[in-house]
C-alpha cells in the first residue's frame, strides 16, 4: 500500500533526528521509502493557535510503500519515535520526533489507535506543503486535492535552510 508519513521535530538536533528517522524507516521490514520532501521550518501550532515561544519545528513528508497493515505501520513509526527519545509528557508538547500517518492508500477509518486520514492533516500547512513536493496531484481522501486544501488555509512554512533568492 502507498502511504504518506509526516515527520516533525522541534527539540534537539532536529535535522539530524529527521535524517536518521528516514534512514530508520528504510530498515522497517516490508517498508520501502519512495520519496522524501525537502525540509520546512514553521512555528509550533498549538490548539489555541501559533506558539511563537515554543521551539520552531522542522517538518518533512515521506512517501512509502508498505506491505503490512496500517496498525503494523503505526507500531513501526511509534518504535522509531521512541528510539529517538520521544517523551510523551503532554499532548502537542515539544518533541524530538513525531511521525504521523497522513494517509494509508485511500483508507478511511476511526480506529481507537489510528484515525485515517490523519484528522488534522487538512488544517496543517506543515503537512500539506511537503506532501505536495512529493506529489503535486496528491488527494486527501474525503477532502479533495491537497493543492486546493493548502490554498484554502494559506501557508506560513519556509523551506529550510532558507533558499537563495532565485537570480
Ligand X SMILES: Nc1nc2c(c(=O)[nH]1)N=C(CO)CN2
Q: Binders of ligand X among 38-97, rule CB under 6 A?
A: 42, 44-45, 57, 59, 92
Nearer to ligand X among residue 24 and residue 41 (C-beta): 41
118 binds, among ligand ATP, ligand X, none (CB under 5 to 8 A by kind): ligand ATP
- The site map against ligand ATP for 90-119 (x = CB under 6 A) is -xx-----x-xx-----------xxxx-x-
- The site map against ligand ATP for 134-163 (x = CB under 6 A) is ------------------------------
CA–CA distance from 121 to each of 84, 96, 100, 137 (Å)? Answer: 23, 20, 9, 16
- Identify the helix (H) or strand (E) that includes residue 150: helix 146-153
116 binds, among ligand X, ligand ATP, none (CB under 5 to 8 A by kind): ligand ATP
Q: Closest distance between ligand ATP and the C-beta of residue 76, in Å? A: 11
User: In 3-state terms, the chain is what percent helix, strand and coil (to 5)?
Assistant: 30, 30, 40
Nearer to ligand ATP among residue 27 and residue 113 (C-beta): 113
Residue-by-residue DSSP string for 55-99: PPEEEEEEEEEESS-HHHHHHHHHHHHHHTT---SSTT---S-EE
Amino acid at each position: 500500500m502507498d502511504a504518506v508519513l509526516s515527520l516533525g521535530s522541534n527539540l534537539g538536533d532536529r535535522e539530524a533526528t529527521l535524517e536518521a528517522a528516514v534512514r530508520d524507516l528504510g530498515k522497517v521490514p516490508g517498508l520501502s521509502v519512495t520519496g522524501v520532501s525537502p525540509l520546512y521550518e514553521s512555528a509550533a501550532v498549538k490548539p489555541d493557535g501559533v506558539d511563537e515561544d515554543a521551539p520552531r519545528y522542522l517538518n518533512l513528508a515521506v512517501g512509502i510503500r508498505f506491505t503490512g497493515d496500517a496498525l503494523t505501520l503505526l507500531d513501526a513509526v511509534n518504535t522509531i519515535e521512541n528510539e529517538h527519545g520521544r517523551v510523551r509528557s503532554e499532548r502537542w508538547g515539544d518533541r524530538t520526533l513525531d511521525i504521523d500517518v497522513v494517509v494509508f492508500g485511500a483508507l478511511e477509518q476511526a480506529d481507537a489507535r489510528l484515525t485515517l486520514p490523519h484528522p488534522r492533516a487538512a488544517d496543517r500547512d506543515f503537512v500539506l506543503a511537503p506532501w505536495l513536493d512529493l506529489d503535486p496531484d496528491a488527494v486527501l481522501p474525503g477532502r479533495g486535492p491537497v493543492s486546493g486544501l493548502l490554498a484554502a488555509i494559506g501557508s506560513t512554512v519556509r523551506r529550510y535552510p532558507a533558499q537563495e533568492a532565485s537570480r
